[in-house]
Amino acid sequence: MKIRRVSFDYDFTLDREDVQNYAKYLMSKGVEVWVTTSRETDESINAKRAYPETWKYPPNWELYRDTDRLEIPRDRINFTAWVDKWTVIKNNNFIWHLDDDDVEIEQAIEWDCDCPFINVEIDGWKDECERLLNIKI
């Protein structure tokens, strides 16, 4: 059986409760859920000393809180470190990627990414995801 794999942006996408509920639903149906974020890893940020040591939480604490709660394995989190997401997603057998960033979506189209990018900000985003997955709710 072919693994069905999808990708979610984190900020303004998977950090939304409705999107988290959808991700949980997909996982319950055997879909492999990944996160592809423009963020850098905590280690990379720490190496640059890009945030004050006095901060209460590390930079990605909320991402890890949410993905741990959703039971998305940490090895399924792609940190692109500000590289265009389509370059990480292309040729990795994702059915779709859900994002809020118009620039990322336009770049995926412009550079002929083999994975459709769906805008979470438009009405019917879930219907489009479902159509591509061919899952009946």
pLDDT in tens, 26-74: 999 999 999 999 998 867 766 566 566 656 666 799 999 999 999 999 9
Q: What is the pLDDT of residue 41?
A: 83
66 and 74 in contact (C-beta within 8 Å)? no
Q: What is the pLDDT of residue 49?
A: 63
CA angle in degrees (0–180, nearest 5) for 89-120-10: 55
pLDDT at 115 over 80: yes
pTM: 0.90
Question: Tokens 């592809």 identify what position?
Answer: 36
Strand 117-119 and strand 94-99: the pairing is parallel
pLDDT at 18 over 50: yes
What residue ranges do the domains of the chain occupy? 15-133
Return the beta strands (E) in 16-121 as ranges: 32-37, 77-79, 94-99, 117-119
Question: Tokens 């620039």 identify what position?
Answer: 103
pLDDT at 137 over 70: no
Please give the share of the chain, as a percent, with pLDDT higher than 90. 80
pLDDT at 96 over 50: yes
State how far the Cα of 5 lies from the Cα of 93, in Å rounded to an integer: 7
Comparing CA positions, the residue from 41, 31, 42, 52 lying closest to residue 96 is 31
State the CB neighbour count (10 A cutoff) for residue 65. 12
What is the helix (H) or strand (E) element at residue 5, kind and residue range? strand 5-8
Question: Tokens 């890890």 identify what position?
Answer: 64
